[in-house]
Amino acid sequence: MGLPTAAASLSERAATRLRGETARAAAAQQRVLVIARHFPPCRFVGAQATAQIARYLPPYGWHPVILTVGERHVESSDPNDRRSFPGTIVRTGVLPHPLSFYSKVKASARPVSKGGPGTEPASSRPGRIRRWVLSILQTPDAYTGWIAPATIAGLRAIHRWRITHLFSSAPFWTNHLVGLVLAHLTGLPWTAHLRDPWTQVPPPKPTSALSRMLERWLERLVMTRADFVVCVTERHTRLLREAFPQLPAEKFITIPNGYDEAEWSGSERRALPPRPPERREFVISYTGSLYMGRSPRPLFRALRRLINAADLRPEELRVDLLGFCDTADGVRVSDMAAECGLTGCVHVGPPLSRPDALRRMAASDLLLLLQESWSLQVPGKTYEYLRAGRPILALTSDGALADLLRETGGAWVVEPTDDAAIAAAVREAYRAWKSGLSGPAAEPALVAAFDRRVLTGRLAALFDPRSGPSAVSLG
């Protein structure tokens, strides 16, 4: 046998051995069923967070099997999302939800005729009835039509892939109900992941005494049956321990949200779409949605104050609101901007692809966070803002978001009602930009701790029955 032939033979044997080792390693991995109605190509932040977690489970010995809906049921689908998920995906159908029938009936109903003050009692009764019906139909959310298909498909997946752990991430809370049913039917260990509080904050939907009672009951079932309940802020973890004192405190774990370092490859230093040099602008950016009290109006008022005081030149200002930002608190954002004389400065754009959104963050001069009256949550975009290394203006009261930003640095944390303080923060950022300075930035070493690859390791440790809570921080 000649040397080239021998080398080729050795190479082939090595390749065969490597393939065998890879196959054995894959076979040795335990399997976790990830229950998430919203999953890419859905662009919701919760869908992206769940995908990031699942993507980094294999290095820790866990093969994820994703249980989600068929692509035709995906909401807010990103047509530019071409990233492939390396795990197994089981997609299901969805049963029609009663709310869809209600919406059709409501749309076909004739409008109620206008009346004077004497007609108010008659017209208020349908309003109360409608609110009560909506509260029941949305208990715990509008996605309960997925429970039966997901349960059937989940049982098949558990049998086929020999699942050894269940993991559900919410909102939306239907995911936890699927996890609850599957855990009850199979006896498998189950980790419930709460990215937001369930019943501890006012929900963005109609409620009634009955719906609140039902939701507290469902939450209690989930908290009791789950082996671990993972919260993303320490404030939420402490609140659940207080709300369920009969349950072991070590059941409730804090593992924060984070960012995916791999997504940032090529995102930095790639500027906004080219503009003429003479139109170089001070760019304030917001990405995401405006809902549950999130409004740019305080920023607009502060900008108007700065312009009136000649502290900011409007021709150098650009405010980009990117995502679902057409309205806030029922008012068109363009009308808000017009009220403050900022029509030419404020630009409302459609949702961006993930790479484009990250590039816009990295190229901004000031990143805007809105979190009014939410003390237990941290917006998911916060970690991407921190990774972007750009100055942040957070309009928020004292709470989990303020705690995080004061720890990492790189942000102005201002009460949403303090127009003078908002204006002072923007003035400071603007002057830094005018001087060619980058402004404050978060401490990179602290930000690196929120890399999703690192955080997923803490989560995977919970799945291993040999390690349990001692493998992760209890907060």
Q: Using one digit for the tens of pLDDT, what is the confidence trace for 12-28?
A: 443 444 344 434 444 55
Comma-separated ranges of CATH 3.40.50.2000 domains in the chain: 25-96+140-258+452-471, 262-448
* CA separation for the pair 12, 18 (Å, rounded): 10
Q: Provide the pLDDT for residue 25.
A: 44
∠ at Cα 187 (184, 188), nearest 5°?
A: 110
Q: How far is CA 320 from CA 107, 281, 323, 365, in A?
A: 34, 11, 10, 11
25-96+140-258+452-471 topology per CATH: Rossmann fold (3.40.50)
Determine the Cα–Cα distance for residues 325 and 328; give it in Å rounded to an integer: 7
From residue 200, give the alpha-carbon distance in Å to each of 47, 137, 258, 374. Answer: 22, 20, 23, 11
Contact 408, 444 (CB under 8 A): no
340 compared with 110, residue with greater pLDDT: 340
For residues 414-433, give the mean pLDDT: 95
The model carries a pTM of: 0.82
CB 59 within 8 Å of CB 65:
no
How far is the C-alpha of 394 from the C-alpha of 95, rounded, in Å?
A: 41
Instruction: Flag whether pLDDT at 45 surpasses 70.
Output: yes
Overall fold of domain 262-448: Rossmann fold (3.40.50)
Helix H, strand E, coil C: the string for 93-149 is CCCCCHHHHHHHHHHHCCCCCCCCHHHHHHHHHHHHHHHHHHHHHCCCCCCHHHHHH
Residue 352 confidence class, pLDDT cut points 50, 70, 90: confident
Q: What is the mean pLDDT of the chain?
A: 84
Find, among 338, 312, 345, 346, the residue nearest to 426 by Cα: 312
pLDDT of residue 130: 83
User: Which among 426, 347, 388, 378 has a CA at the least distance from the CA of 49?
Assistant: 378
Q: Note the pLDDT tens digit of each residue in 300-309.
A: 999 999 999 9
pLDDT tier at 53, thresholds 50, 70, 90: very high
Contact present, 378 and 401 (Cβ < 8 Å): yes
Question: What share of the chain in percent tops pLDDT 90?
Answer: 63
- The mean pLDDT of 239-259, rounded to a whole number, is 96
- Rounded CA gap, 395 and 295, in Å? 10
